[in-house]
Amino acid sequence: MFERLCAYLFCLYPIEFRRACGRDAWQLIRDRIRDERGVFLRMRLLADLVMDLFATSRRWQPAASSLARIDGGPRFDIIEVHGPKPQTLAVGMFTSVLMFASFSFLFHPTEYPNAPAQLGEGSGQGPEGFPSDDDSKQQVVAGSKDERHDLIAAIAANLQQRYYDRAIGQQLAGAILTFEKDGRYNDIATGPELAQKITEDIHTTSNAIGIPKGTFVADVLYSEGVLPTGPPPAMMPIPNTDTAVRDYRDCLFSIVEMRDGNIGYFKINGFAPSCAPTAAKAMASFNDVSALVIDLRDNGGGVGDVALFIAGYLFDRPALFWDPRPGSPVPPKTASPVKGSKLASTPVYLVTSSRTQSAAEYFVYNLKMLKRATIVGEQTAGHEHAGVFQRVTDHIGMGVQEVAPPENPYAIKGWEAIGIEPDVKAPRLEAPDVAKKLAASKAPKH
């Protein structure tokens, strides 16, 4: 809801400004929405947007779109040297205060009843370059009993025909069809809910017939956008730049810094491809720290190669990194030791949340199994996604373990659905400080 309000304010900015710099400006706003939580910080963000709106409306000229760099990226310049007059500032401040004071009285969100719509159909589109806020895309289910049955029958057929153990696949398919016959899915209103419920039933049934918890079997996923009919496109490489700051940002390394007590703090929001050289710079900067805190709270995954590359700095010999994907292109062991690195004996703390998933969980799982890091924060998402993905409808797809998974030497056989339990539990916002205190208390004294 707050992001919607910010998007509405941003749409009031001059069209020339949005054409020239809209995508980057909106990304900056979204980053602030994500990081600045709480009433005071969000009120401050709204105040900044309103003041910027007044200033931009007065000063922005159509010719400003020519202020792009030669390399195609946006460039931000001060268009006028002189600031606004005191009278203008007073009017803007009065307007902002009036708006905030009356917001709770004037803004009344409309409630809509749950109305089933046709699966795969949806309408409405936000402004160009913005994520869609149309909730109708979330309200898509089978429009009739027969259509719902056909969807569930297709999911069951995929389990029966594609799961590597045909006997187990048949049991799972039979259980899903039995649940459907008993009316288990009749009252589910949305596509995401239906996908989640069927996935939960697959996990519950697989555990009941003896498959260890944490093992990937299959999952059903809902996509807001229309799924491709063929294989998903290859991930596009991220362009290289000359500056270290830009490299860190492009590789989703948002913070690389030293903190009090000689504690290194490394926030990784994703494992982007082709980022091993940048990761090497970051890890080299931590060479003499007393302890290292790696923050993965907002890490939604990425490529395993970069995760494995970073892990290589934390061992003095090759260490097994179990990969749940059969025939994975990622090597099974770290390339340890890394020449010149002093981190093999440095205490490591990984900060996690319920948003930590996929390749980030691969990183956390193996370091925990190897007892090389202390996990601080929340239980991770439990999204292993090790199967072969296939489209079922425009918005429903599923992954199925078509080949037997690699042998796992650990007692906990994976993280699918169960996630990874932290060693020290802490709320998401407090977890970095908890990890820092632990690191300071356990770090060797110099």
| Tens digit of each residue's pLDDT (9 = 90 or more) over 29-63 | 777 777 777 777 778 878 887 777 776 665 554 44
φ and ψ of 399, to 5 deg? -105, 140
pLDDT given for residue 397 in this prediction:
92
Region 11-31: mean pLDDT is 70
In whole numbers, what is the pLDDT of the chain averaged over residues?
80
Least confident range from 26-30, 255-259, 375-379: namely 26-30
Q: How many CB atoms lie within 10 A of CB 15?
A: 12
pLDDT given for residue 19 in this prediction:
62
CA nearest neighbour of 364 among 421, 317, 409, 406: 421
pLDDT given for residue 83 in this prediction:
54
pLDDT at 92 over 90: no
User: How far apart are the C-alpha atoms of 254 and 246, rounded to whole Å?
Assistant: 10
Region 340-346: mean pLDDT is 96
The continuous run of DSSP H or E covering 376 comes out as strand 374-377
Summarised one tens digit per residue, pLDDT across range 208-240 is 999 999 999 999 999 888 887 755 443 333 333
Region 398-406: mean pLDDT is 94
User: How far apart are the C-alpha atoms of 198 and 221, rounded to whole Å?
Assistant: 10
* Residue predicted with more confidence, 98 or 206: 206
> Tokens in use for 345?
């004996």
Band (pLDDT 50/70/90 cuts) for residue 324 is very high
pLDDT at 192 over 70: yes
pLDDT at 16 over 60: yes
Least confident range from 79-83, 98-102, 277-281: namely 79-83
What contacts 394, CB < 8 A, 6 or more positions away? Answer: 119, 120, 226, 227
pLDDT given for residue 148 in this prediction:
87
pLDDT at 273 over 60: yes
pLDDT at 80 over 90: no
pLDDT at 123 over 90: no
| CA 384 vs CA 216, 274, 322: distances in Å | 7, 22, 12
User: How far apart are the C-alpha atoms of 336 and 344, rounded to whole Å?
Assistant: 9
Least confident range from 75-89, 119-133, 335-349, 388-402: namely 119-133
3-state secondary structure of 270: coil
pLDDT at 427 over 70: yes
Band (pLDDT 50/70/90 cuts) for residue 280 is very high
pLDDT at 119 over 50: no
Band (pLDDT 50/70/90 cuts) for residue 102 is low
Band (pLDDT 50/70/90 cuts) for residue 415 is very high
* Cα torsion angle, 152, 157, 162, 165, sign: positive
pLDDT at 138 over 50: no
Q: In the chain, pLDDT over 70 holds for what percent of residues?
A: 72
pLDDT at 141 over 80: no
pLDDT at 374 over 70: yes
pLDDT given for residue 85 in this prediction:
63
pLDDT given for residue 65 in this prediction:
38
- Burial classification of residue 42, based on how many CB atoms lie within 10 Å of its CB (0-12 exposed, 13-18 middle, 19 or more buried): middle
* Residue predicted with more confidence, 246 or 420: 420
Region 405-424: mean pLDDT is 95
pLDDT given for residue 387 in this prediction:
85
pTM of the model: 0.66
